Structure 1
């Protein structure tokens, strides 16, 4: 088993596209998920170049160094938690990251800040705000339902955090809608 780490895989469509490219190149993958593909065997240098060449025009990139791989895994865990799972209010983010990545949270936090120029907490908040924007644009849930769904302690706390990040209140954002949303890989 060999794991490839792939930059900019942030959604289910990304997983499907990467899987298709692996299939086209005849590379057997056991599992493809956000940010990584588990292969049956390590790639040859030629296969790696071909895969990089196929993925680059699609906006993806293979990640070679260990620190960058760890940063990408942190980002993907956060994206997965915020955008694709119901939040578990019983566990905090630091415990989840430490358990998933088998590293002390202080190490992860310092590395993330050093490499990205922002904190894990700010990245997590930015992802949550993007999810709030998405839910506001869909206009299917009330603000209190959104606050509950994203594990905010209150609507006021969500609104304050939203305004701090976007400069707008959630209700004002709802009026101006979609042009204020960002793709997940640009957050």
Structure 2
């Protein structure tokens, strides 16, 4: 049972109904988490804008999903890894790609360097060493790429943390976290 109401077209205000329409146009449906995020039209509009800006950004959709899977696993968001895995499969990522990404790994060394950088940012709250920042650049990622990673962090932290508070049902094939302790507090 969600701790924050899951809005429906029947319970939505006119402003929320407008966001529902935008969400369906963007994603083909209105996932439960987004229906709950729409309790704040300002927040959900911000989410949709950031999502679109990053979709138009430097990273292809497959890499964006891998980044999200790594962050979602690290932050303990079962909803997010389930949603992103379902989308990743539609984008032709394999089960191996998905599993590797959840661990911050990739079959591509350059991608893995970026995923390692992302996980270091999450684990150390952005407090990285010179060597850690240089390593991602040495792998071939530009300053623009490094900067854009922060948009993906914000987007994923928003959904990860929101789900951990709201605890909506998962309306995608469910993936369980490798480390259940990352969501244990919220089960009480």
Larger gyration radius, structure 1 or structure 2:
1
Whichever structure has more strand as a proportion of its residues is 1
TM-score calculated relative to the size of structure 2: 0.30
Q: Which has the higher contact order (CA 8 A, sep 6+)?
A: 2
TM-score calculated relative to the size of structure 1: 0.30
